[in-house]
Amino acid sequence: MKKMIFAAAALTFAVSASIAGPAEDREAMMKSFGGALGQLAPIARGEQPFDAAVVNAAVEALNANAMKFDVAALFPAGSGEGTDALPAIWENLADFEAKAEKFKADVAGVAANPPADQAAVGAALGVIGGNCGACHQPYRAKRG
């Protein structure tokens, strides 16, 4: 019964993801990135003890989503209306794509050699977070 419920939930998610537009898809992906990073940050700050299972799961989630980060599918022309995505994305698409590819490569590098202690989690967050800021500064509207 549990397998059937899980399968139904997975199918519902897949169908809803295919119905959603690119803006909704990228927002969901960014929230997923934030959730995984949110698991790592307290470990890096020493607020939670290092837990290899938590770290590995978060890194795997980051990597799985990063590999799905397809600029053409998530940021088609005209999909910025009413979102935090700035027109600069489409005005500087080559730079935006290069930043996305660097992010994907850096996350894959962390996933290939997952952090083994608190200091390594902090270093990994520094690399990944640097990528986030490199895109969000020029390409996302400032909030509130």
132 is in an annotated binding site: yes
Q: Which residues pair with 85 in a beta bridge?
A: 140
Residue 75 sits in which domain range? 22-139
**What pLDDT, on a 0 to 100 scale, did the predictor assign at position 4?**
46
Does residue 2 lie in a domain region? no
pTM summary value: 0.83
Does residue 6 lie in a domain region? no
pLDDT band at residue 143 under the 50/70/90 scheme: confident
The number of folded domains in the chain is 1
For the segment 12-50, what is each residue's pLDDT rounded down to a tens digit?
Answer: 444 444 557 999 999 999 999 999 999 999 999 999 999
Does residue 5 lie in a domain region? no
137 is in an annotated binding site: no
37: CATH = 1.20.120.10
Rounded alpha-carbon distances, angstroms, from residue 30 to 6, 23, 66, 113, 143: 24, 11, 10, 23, 15
136 is in an annotated binding site: yes
